[in-house]
Amino acid sequence: MFLKNYLPRSEKNETKISLKYLKFTLMFLFFCTILITFIFSIEDKNRMVLGKNYKKNNLSQNTLTLENAKLIGNDRNNKPYVITAKSSFKNSLDENLLHLKSVEADMTLNNNNWMSINTNHAIFNIFEKTIEATEKVFIFYDDGTKLESTGLNYNVANGIGFSNSGVKMFGEWGIIEANSFSFDTNDHMIKFYNKPKLILN
pLDDT over 70, % of the chain: 73
Report residue 143 CA to chain centroid gap: 27
pLDDT in tens, 123-173: 999 999 999 999 999 999 998 899 999 999 999 999 999 999 999 999 888
Q: What average pLDDT does the structure give for the chain?
A: 79
Please state the rounded mean pLDDT for residues 90-105: 87
Taking the CA atoms of 92, 128, 65 and 119 in sequence, report the sign of the dihedral they define.
Answer: negative
pLDDT in tens, 71-94: 999 998 899 999 999 998 887 778
Termini Cα distance of the chain = 115
Total-model pTM: 0.66
Q: Does domain 48-200 have CATH number 2.60.450.10?
A: yes
